[in-house]
Chains A and B, each alone.
Chain A
């Protein structure tokens, strides 16, 4: 395996403390688990480094966070004004400065899709790391008029970001994940969401062109990161049939050809029918004379 020489937790810490070069970090969140705790992780890990300037661009947060060196309330600014305000706090691309700059955007959803790429590239500079928060469950309103098939904001950011951090609530065993999701789509927030312990999926695009995936359990109170599972390995294990191992074990052929394998996959196992809950299980009930059907009870409805 050895997909990476890094210990995943160390990689994560390096990202949090901005030691890993990554001009654009995308954090993805939902109403079930917002990335506020994740932001705090960045602040916690980089607090040892005195040379960091944090510029907080806020569309959503009104209360200025204590860690923000500069706070820009972008809710009433036009995009051009925002860029010019931002430039006053940041070095220009040519300038050589010591220290690092972290620009937090909360959240990028409010910058319109067509201006997104231009906005980021106009500010980008070697010393600046963008930490861009994107709400996955805020639907995008694309005006794909005039036949312009521009990618959605999500696709754009996903493409541009070197590091993607996706937070999700940790589901306890008792809670059905399906139920939670259907409730969330009705804006009913179940209890236990937005907890200080949550799941984090890290996608890191390496210089080699590969991208690696890890899932962590993060505890924001103790700042402990625990690897939950290595998603790279899982992907490898899906295809666990190893044809070479079956070679030369017997005098007959143990391995399966592609055609055989396809046929094997197509075999319908018994009881598969029963798992598609389409029609089965209807209660067929017919009244008979002697049936004791309580008319008074509206809930005694045989149908």
Chain B
């Protein structure tokens, strides 16, 4: 097993793309995780990623230790240099640019904050939701993926607020939730942590991975190469600390985005200083006045307005479904978001099956960006499960359709992108990747999602022997190098 060797090849070859954790050979155009970590602006080597590597890859305690060191070394220059250094050209906003939860959009340089879901940030085209804009997340069917995203969006705000690095003022972010359900605060997910218990788990996982070959082939090599890459990069950084601008950028935004574990809870639970609940079942004016008062009370903070499960019948009385009630409410919310556009973002989620087309169209027209989650039905899921027999974690849960993107759509650009992105929700993260119909091959279940080179190889015997899979994975690495 010559991991190191392969890792070196990867490093010299196409750095940044092939050497990405989670880069698994898939017959689509590169997974989203690869896409996210590609390119200088988005190379997210932050603590979250390292945690991610550590947890997913299970390279043993020594590797974990090394990564811990790395993350320390990686973060120190960012802190010492201070995040304000290279942001002079950024537009003025009411929130200080040093806020750890904002960064300029790579596309428009508008100040942008993370949705808490990294892949969603990427999909929005700004590495987040630009301040002063709004996002509507629709979902068809009766699943609850949208509420997961709403919770993560809120959690990200709480986490930003608790970052100690902001000066003397207590807190930098406030979350306003338009919901009756006060439990929402207690249900917010916590940051994903690689605890000691996890490490132990991973040891066991490693043992298992020796048996399950596909694990080895797909994950170990890239993981290893990645940590090599980090070592190599930071080595450079140490020698010539001022030259590598990319790294500065990464470090500056290291607390921009976090990874959340949806099975965990944020501890301690958010207090009233961090989160404000406003009941949607009052009259519209009362809601809006309360909302504005809360925003003014927390000025100089980022305000994240969350509307989870808009028009959920349990929370919204029937008269809220009247167009002349719900639309003024949303128009008012949008007006507030724009009025305080230096600090406000608005995220709403809705189960679109409950609404008729007219209501939905009117609601969509209010928001700057609209996306729609379309979970797969049972047959499609079964098909995917068959296709990814050996890698159940690759089964996507549905499509994510883009109907409008912030700022871009406003300019008049056409951004209706349908059936190009798929999502899957795991414990550790909500992933969005390019959608491709997997090749279902009953004979070769193991390599069913491999590149076509491997699929054509019908003459192999299909027992999952060590050597066979390794061969496959070598092929795959070569293929990804070629890209």
Contacts and interface: CB of A to CB of B under 8 A. Distances in A.
Interface in B1-43: 27-29
Contacts of B455: 289
A166 to B, nearest CB: 30
B443 to A, nearest CB: 8
B441 A289 contact: yes
Contacts of B458: 289
Contacts of B456: 289-290
A289 B441 CA distance: 8
Listed residue (B29, B420, B452, B458) with the most chain A CB atoms within 10 angstroms of its CB: B452
Contacts of B27: 295
Nearest to B417: A298
Interface string B453-465: 0011010000000
A303 B458 CA distance: 25
B28 A295 contact: yes
Contacts of B29: 295-296
Contacts of B439: 287, 293
B28 to A, nearest CB: 6
Interface residues of A, number: 9
Nearest to A288: B441
B437 interface: yes
Nearest to A290: B456
Contacts of A301: 437
Q: Dominant SS at the B interface?
A: loop
Contacts of A298: 420
A301 to B, nearest CB: 8
B436 interface: yes
B323 to A, nearest CB: 15
B440 interface: yes
B420 A287 contact: no
Contacts, number: 19
Interface in B424-483: 436-437, 439-441, 452, 455-456, 458
A293 B451 CA distance: 11
A289 B27 CA distance: 14
A290 B439 CA distance: 12
B475 to A, nearest CB: 15
A293 B439 CA distance: 10
A295 B436 contact: yes
Interface in A255-303: 287, 289-290, 293, 295-296, 298, 301, 303
A287 B440 contact: yes
Contacts of A287: 439-441
A289 B442 CA distance: 11
A106 to B, nearest CB: 30
Listed residue (A290, A293, A295) with the most chain B CB atoms within 10 angstroms of its CB: A295
Contacts of A289: 441, 455-456, 458
Interface string A119-140: 0000000000000000000000
Contacts of A290: 456
Contacts of B436: 295
A196 to B, nearest CB: 34
B42 to A, nearest CB: 21
Interface in B85-117: none
Interface in A194-250: none
Nearest to B457: A289
A258 B458 CA distance: 69
A289 B453 CA distance: 10
A185 to B, nearest CB: 15
B441 A303 contact: no
Nearest to B440: A287
Contacts of B437: 301, 303
Interface of B: 27-29, 420, 436-437, 439-441, 452, 455-456, 458
Given A287-B440, A295-B29, 17 more contacts: A287-B439, A287-B441, A289-B441, A289-B455, A289-B456, A289-B458, A290-B456, A293-B439, A293-B452, A295-B27, A295-B28, A295-B436, A295-B452, A296-B29, A298-B420, A301-B437, A303-B437
**The 7 nearest A-B residue pairs measured at CB:** A295-B27, A289-B458, A295-B436, A287-B439, A296-B29, A295-B28, A298-B420
19 contacts: A287-B439, A287-B440, A287-B441, A289-B441, A289-B455, A289-B456, A289-B458, A290-B456, A293-B439, A293-B452, A295-B27, A295-B28, A295-B29, A295-B436, A295-B452, A296-B29, A298-B420, A301-B437, A303-B437
